[in-house]
Chains A and B, each alone.
Chain A
Amino acid sequence: MNMAMFLQDPGLWLIGLVTVAFAMLAVTVKDLVHAVLWLGMALLGTAALFAKFDASFLAAIQVLLYVGGVVVLLIFGVMLTRNHEHLAAFRQTRRPVRAAVVAVALFVALVHAILNTPGLNDAPAGKSVSLQDLGLALLGPYAFAFEVLSLLLLAAMVGAVVLARKRDPGQPSAKKLIRHRNLGRQVVEGLAATDEVGQ
């Protein structure tokens, strides 16, 4: 990063670097609840970047859906799967050195590709995309994708309910049925054995 690039838009760089720092904390901090909260901060930073690009609708959606929805869901998930000795909430990591090497190598490759791509610093098109343009695009060329998306959300909702539903207590699981059958068989055999001894 040279100084000229930074001075071109210092606000963008500052928000961006803070967002990256939050994301780093979210993937490295020990306690999972803290990690989810750092993720929420990183998502807020992204929303700020969206607002900086004049995409205020997307920024609002980001805050509503991610910070309001996904973060709360993830916190629920962490707390519902916490073990009693609450060791599970403290995550263990594996192969941190190799992972860091891979991540840094990927970053270097990406930076190399970005800095060597011509035409990235062309002047912007000038006209900003308004909310009206976005609505027309969603109901015009992308209307089909938009409808399929609603179907996807319905499928996800039904799938989540089916997966996470507690089994009806009156209806025993297959495993329990097999165990009961084996137990019954053992009792019958035991009774037969005592009968034989008695005779």
Chain B
Amino acid sequence: MTAILLIASALFCAGVFGLLTQKHAIGVMIAIEVMINAANLIFVGLGQHKGAAVGQSFALFTIAIAVAEVVVGLAIVLLLYRSRGDVQVDEAREMRQ
């Protein structure tokens, strides 16, 4: 049990590092995916450890919500690219055309 918690925290911290250093919008989304995966790992690991179906159910919900987030995020990134010509998150201040 300790092993999986340690592995998941290492994954989460890798995600935090990415989130703090990225300038490219898709780089930020990659970092967020890594962090969501760490959370999923703990959901499944703890659920199997305790023999409860709640862990896997929540992991399933998290996966679906993460996919929805990626879809909407990519649509926003494409819109940003179309209206500004680049997708650096530091420089994006408004979404009006």
Q: Enumerate chain B residues within 8 angstroms of A194, measured Cβ to Cβ.
A: none
Assess the A114–B77 pair: CB atoms within 8 A: no
Within 8 A of A (CB), among B18-54: 18, 20-27, 29-31, 33-34, 37, 40-41, 44-45, 47-54
Assess the A16–B7 pair: CB atoms within 8 A: yes
A-B contact count (CB 8 A): 251
Assess the A32–B24 pair: CB atoms within 8 A: yes
Bound state CA distance, A66 and B88, in angstroms? 24
* A145 interface contact, C-beta 8 A: yes
- Looking at the assembled complex, report how far the CB atom of A45 sits from the nearest CB atom of chain B, in whole angstroms: 9
Q: Which residue of A lies closest to B48 (CB)?
A: A53
Q: Enumerate chain A residues within 8 angstroms of B24, measured Cβ to Cβ.
A: 32, 88, 91-92
Bound state CA distance, A13 and B65, in angstroms? 28
Assess the B81–A81 pair: CB atoms within 8 A: yes
Q: Enumerate chain B residues within 8 angstroms of A76, measured Cβ to Cβ.
A: 74
Assess the B81–A5 pair: CB atoms within 8 A: no
Q: Enumerate chain B residues within 8 angstroms of A183, measured Cβ to Cβ.
A: none
* A192 interface contact, C-beta 8 A: no
Chain B interface residue count, CB cutoff 8 Å, equals: 72
Q: Enumerate chain B residues within 8 angstroms of A42, measured Cβ to Cβ.
A: 11, 34, 37
Q: Which residue of B lies closest to A106 (CB)?
A: B13
Bound state CA distance, A104 and B20, in angstroms? 12
Query: 1/0 per residue B58-77: CB within 8 Å of A?
Result: 01110111111111101111
Q: Enumerate chain A residues within 8 angstroms of B11, measured Cβ to Cβ.
A: 19-20, 23, 42
Q: Enumerate chain B residues within 8 angstroms of A155, measured Cβ to Cβ.
A: 68
Query: 1/0 per residue A105-133: CB within 8 Å of B?
Result: 01100110011000011101111110001
- Looking at the assembled complex, report how far the CB atom of B38 sits from the nearest CB atom of chain A, in whole angstroms: 8
Q: How large, as a class, is the contact surface on chain A?
A: 35 or more
Q: Which residue of A lies closest to B90 (CB)?
A: A94
Q: Enumerate chain A residues within 8 angstroms of B75, measured Cβ to Cβ.
A: 159-161, 163-164
Assess the A36–B16 pair: CB atoms within 8 A: no
Q: Enumerate chain B residues within 8 angstroms of A157, measured Cβ to Cβ.
A: 71
Known: A27-B14, A99-B17, A111-B9. A122 touches B87 (CB 8 A): no
- Looking at the assembled complex, report how far the CB atom of B30 sits from the nearest CB atom of chain A, in whole angstroms: 5
Q: Which residue of B lies closest to A142 (CB)?
A: B57
Assess the A88–B34 pair: CB atoms within 8 A: no
Bound state CA distance, A114 and B31, in angstroms? 23
Q: Enumerate chain B residues within 8 angstroms of A53, measured Cβ to Cβ.
A: 44-45, 48
Q: Which residue of A lies closest to B64 (CB)?
A: A149
Top 4 nearest A-B pairs by Cβ distance?
A: A27-B18, A125-B51, A16-B7, A99-B20
